[in-house]
Amino acid sequence: MSTQDIATLRQRTQGALEAHRKAARTVTVLSCLLAAHDALGYLPQEAIEEVARSTDHTINDVWGVASFYTNFRFTSPGEHTVEVCWGPTCHLVGAMNVLQAVQEALGLQGEGETADGRISLKYNTCLGACSQAPVIRSDEHVLGGMTPARALALLASLRHKQT
Ligand code: FES
């Protein structure tokens, strides 16, 4: 990573933490980590250091909090994120067929990033849209009535979409 990229990560984290401090009633290490994670999509070392600095804790303290929560990721996500719901309702109406098609198309055995870094695959246990099951979230869009064919069309459109 270049020096400029590192400086940009620090600036973006500082901006997120500043906005968080203005908006939040209570500022904690965890709330700052969430703010940084929302802004960057993951928690690089630079974000951990900025949270430590802004909350007056040690870097080890902040890592201790961050590493406790499995929802935080510490490597950069793909340009697009596809979350396949495999919760009970989606499972009953075909989520596993959708998931299998998505994994095969992306060349993945489980969650992770495609080799070209374009798409991240995540699992979800409920996207809150059970009435539309099976459901996928594509970046910020929740898409219901998913089938393997619709999922493959979605992946094809994401591969060609500019970020
Ligand atoms: S179980 Fe899939 S959206 Fe609720």
pLDDT tens readout for residues 22-70: 999 999 999 999 999 999 999 999 999 999 999 999 999 999 999 999 8
Reported as a pLDDT band with limits 50, 70 and 90, residue 71 is confident
Ligand 1 centroid to 26 CA: how many Å? Answer: 31
Ligand 1 centroid to 146 CA: how many Å? Answer: 12
Is it the case that residue 136 has pLDDT exceeding 70? yes
Share of the chain above pLDDT 70, in %: 99
Q: Tell me the per-residue pLDDT of 118-128, one tens digit each, with 9 for 90 and over.
A: 999 999 999 99
Using alpha carbons, select from 91, 95, 87, 78 the residue that is nearest to residue 155: 78
Relative to the CA of 88, which ligand 1 atom is closest? 1
Ligand 1 pocket test: which of 84, 135, 143 has the largest number of ligand atoms within 8 Å of its C-beta?
135
The ligand 1 site (C-beta within 6 Å) comprises 85, 87-90, 126-130, 133, 135
Relative to the CA of 90, which ligand 1 atom is closest? 2
Is it the case that residue 99 has pLDDT exceeding 80? yes
Which strand ranges, in their side-by-side order, compose the sheet holding 112-113?
112-113, 119-124, 80-85, 136-138, 141-143
Say what the pLDDT of residue 3 is.
86
8 Å CB contact between 106 and 121: yes
8 Å CB contact between 160 and 152: no
Q: What is the pTM of this model?
A: 0.75
Reported as a pLDDT band with limits 50, 70 and 90, residue 163 is low
For atom 1 of ligand 1, the residue with the nearest CA is 87
Torsion angles phi and psi, residue 96, rounded to 5: -70, -30
Relative to the CA of 85, which ligand 1 atom is closest? 2
Q: How far is Cα 44 from Cα 46, in angstroms, rounded to an integer? A: 5
8 Å CB contact between 84 and 47: no
Q: How far is Cα 145 from Cα 45, in angstroms, rounded to an integer? A: 39
Catalogue the E-assigned strands of the chain: 80-85, 112-113, 119-124, 136-138, 141-143
Relative to the CA of 89, which ligand 1 atom is closest? 1
Ligand 1 centroid to 98 CA: how many Å? Answer: 13
Strand (E) or helix (H) holding 42: none
